[in-house]
Amino acid sequence: MTLRLGVLGIDHGHIFGMLANMKAQGCTCAQYWTDGPAVTEQKFNQVFPEVAKVADRRAVLDSDVDMVLISAVPADRAALAIEAMRAGKDVMVDKPGCTTLEQLAEIKQVQAETGRIWSVNFSERFEVRATTRASELVAEGAIGRVIQVVTLAPHKQNLKTRPPWYFQRARYGGILCDIGSHQVDQFLHFTGSTEVQVGHALVENTTMPAEPGFQDFGEMTLVGDKGHGYLRLDWFTPDGLPTWGDGRLFLLGTEGTIECRKYTEIGQPHRTDNLYLVNGSENRHIDCSDAELPYFPRLVADVQARSWSAAPQEHTFRTMQIAITAQMKAEGQDA
């Protein structure tokens, strides 16, 4: 069965990876809706000319689509996902899947009522081949039990391409909720932790005092029942880097270490998906460009079989719960 897709919101560039990777699985998409102008729209129409714009989102929700892809402004994603699930559609939403604990509680309630899939595309794991290979190596026992995860997630500001909502705390959800949800997902995935405390959380705006809602640095430490984590986010990537950020993943195991240099290799010819493995018998670099991206075929299979192989539903809920809780802690709010 070929899955039929619809799109609600194209405000973030992650929609390109979401839709392209699903189309690579044989899925089709005929319609998209977006709430007002989006900075991505011209490019979206060029990349996906076969996807027609509709003026009313009900045209998507009332159609025969199986799954809705959502990349609206972060604060609006929860309401759209809830509307889609109540319309009988499964959902893949860009990260963060929601921005408040109240939104998350309603999503949980509606998901339980409808039995629909609510999947958040944590692209720093799901769309990175080096992370796939790291998962395979950990599953094979290459570094023993993972006891600590460190992620570094630097980004370029690219201010000329940013719409106003990028600087409005209530709209993008805060740096730990937004970019941090990627990192929390990786921490949970690699440690297997299901009970997690936020030991420390901090956010700052050090470069844009004229935009008080903007946060250009954030960090959190996580204490899980099966491992520990330090996760750093920032908007300080210099223009000299040939890509948007030198994202890195460090896994400390009882019998070895893995480092993923996901998007570039500093001081070397530009290459992505680098993995470095050290254990009792190996010390090597692994080119991961041939690794698969299993999230997308698994998600298609899940929609068809009503299963949860791409990402367990509780894992996705837990990821957003922790990211939002860390954001609140950093801002002095009670969770």
Average pLDDT taken over every residue of the chain? 97
Q: Residue 178 — φ and ψ, nearest 5°?
A: -75, -85
Tracing tokens 């204490």 back to the chain, one arrives at 223
**Residue 335 clears pLDDT 80, i.e. is over it:** no
Distance between CA atoms of residues 307 and 325, nearest Å? 28
pLDDT in tens, 294-329: 999 999 999 999 999 999 999 999 999 999 999 999
pLDDT of residue 159: 82
**What share of the chain in percent tops pLDDT 90?**
96
Band the pLDDT of 5: cuts 50, 70, 90: very high
Q: Residue ranges of the alpha helices (H) in 192-335?
A: 295-305, 313-330
Indicate the SS3 state at residue 77. helix
- For the chain, the distance separating the N- and C-terminal CA atoms, rounded to the nearest angstrom, is 43
Distance between CA atoms of residues 193 and 199, nearest Å? 15
pTM over 0.95: yes
Domains present along the chain, CATH in parentheses: 4-121 (3.40.50.720), 125-293 (3.30.360.10)
pLDDT of residue 161: 83
